[in-house]
Each structure stands twice: as C-alpha cells, then as structure tokens.
C-alpha cells in the first residue's frame, strides 16, 4: 500500500493538485500534516477515489478540529501530527518518545518545512517537508509504503 504524505502547503493548492493528478490510480490514501490542510480537503470532491486525512497545524486556525490522529493502515499504527505541540522545531526527541509511548509503528509530522526520515527504536518517523514554503530546498513531499514493514522516501517537485 502506497500513501502520499504532504505538509505545510500554506494556501498553495496548485502543487497539491499536481501531485493528486500524478498519483491518481497509484495511491488511495493522501495525508496532510497541517498548515494548509484546507488546501487538500477543498479538492476532495475532484478525487472521490482517494481517501483524504488531515490534521491541524499551528496556522490552520480551527479549519480542522483534530491536531493529532492515529490511523491503522494495514496492520500498522500511524500517528499524524503537525509537530508544533511536540517542539519539533528544537529537536525530535519529545515526539519520538511520545510515539513510543503510544506504541506507534510510524509517526508523520511537519512544521519545520525540512524533509527528513528517521528511525528510532521501532518507530519510523517522516517529515515530508513543505510543498508551499520550503526552507533551503525544493518543495517536497513523502511517499510511504506499508507492507510487512514501513518504508518511505522523500520526493521533490
């Protein structure tokens, strides 16, 4: 199962639509990790074959009520969060321990606008970076693959 992961689009719908068109038929689930979650959700009616899931970021101003969600995809438990409530701008340590405490297989987060993939003990962590306002790199997103394990890759526009 392949999942499209994005974050921090900040009102820029064009790259979101471009990715949805590119991965139509290839991915069924699309995740937005906040700060522009509305950018994804406003396209929902154009892509009825895709499941859209989003969490609120610090700039979403109540557009999405949930700041965190736990999904079960396949047999894997995945935490979705923007990350600002876990101080990811400083380091990822609080978030890693939180994911371990919740017994997550993966934790997906945004906020920093820097793409990264980490593995800590049994938890896979991914920040897809920013599609709308990248810092120091090209606009980026992530592709998550769930089989018997979780893998991911960072992609750039």
Task: Identify the sign of the CA torsion 122, 58, 67, 73.
Answer: negative
23 or 89, higher pLDDT: 23
CB burial of residue 77 (10 Å; 0-12, 13-18, 19+): middle
Q: CA nearest 34: which of 87, 143, 112, 99?
A: 112
pLDDT number for residue 13: 95
Structure-derived torsion over alpha carbons of residues 149, 114, 22, 49, reported in degrees to the nearest 10: 60
Does residue 63 surpass a pLDDT of 80? no
Q: Residue 46 region, left (φ>0) first, then alpha (ψ -120 to 50), else beta?
A: alpha
- Which residue would you say has higher pLDDT here, 86 or 125? 125
Q: What mean pLDDT is reported for the chain?
A: 93
Tell me the β-bridge partners of 80: 69, 108
Higher pLDDT, 141 or 90: 141
Q: What is the DSSP pairing of strand 150-156 with strand 140-146?
A: antiparallel
CATH of the domain at 78: 3.60.21.10
Q: What is the mean pLDDT of residues 55-64?
A: 82
What value does the mean pLDDT take over residues 9-35? 96
Which pLDDT does position 62 carry in this prediction? 66
% of residues, the chain, pLDDT over 90: 78
Number of domains in the chain: 1
pLDDT of residue 68: 94
Give me the pLDDT at residue 41, please: 86
Range of the domain at 46: 2-156
Over the stretch 111-155, which tens digit does the pLDDT of each residue have? 999 999 999 888 999 999 999 999 878 999 999 999 999 999 999
pLDDT of residue 85: 85
Backbone angles phi, psi at 120, to 5 degrees: -130, 120
Rg (CA), the chain: 14
Q: Answer for the pair 87, 96: CB distance below 8 angstroms, yes or no.
A: no
Whether 55 and 64 have beta carbons less than 8 Å apart is answered as yes
Task: Using pLDDT thresholds of 50, 70 and 90, give the confidence band for residue 60.
Answer: confident
Query: What distance in Å separates the CA atoms of residue 63 and residue 86, rounded to the nearest whole number?
Result: 20
The pLDDT of 78-92, averaged and rounded, is 88
Band (pLDDT 50/70/90 cuts) for residue 73 is: very high
């Amino acid at each position: 199962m392949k999942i499209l992961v994005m974050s921090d689009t900040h009102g820029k719908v064009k790259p979101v639509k471009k990715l949805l068109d590119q991965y139509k038929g290839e991915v069924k689930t699309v995740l937005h990790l906040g700060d522009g979650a509305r950018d994804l959700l406003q396209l929902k009616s154009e892509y009825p074959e895709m499941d859209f899931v989003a969490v609120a970021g610090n700039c979403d101003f109540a557009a999405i009520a949930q700041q965190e969600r736990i999904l079960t995809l396949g047999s894997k438990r995945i935490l979705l969060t923007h990350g600002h409530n876990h101080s990811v701008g400083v380091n990822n340590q609080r978030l890693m321990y939180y994911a371990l405490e919740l017994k997550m297989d993966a934790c997906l987060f945004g906020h920093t606008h820097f793409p990264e993939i980490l593995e800590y003990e049994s938890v896979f962590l991914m920040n897809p970076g920013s599609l709308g306002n990248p810092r120091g790199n090209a606009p980026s997103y992530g592709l998550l693959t769930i089989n018997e394990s979780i893998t991911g890759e960072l992609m750039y526009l």
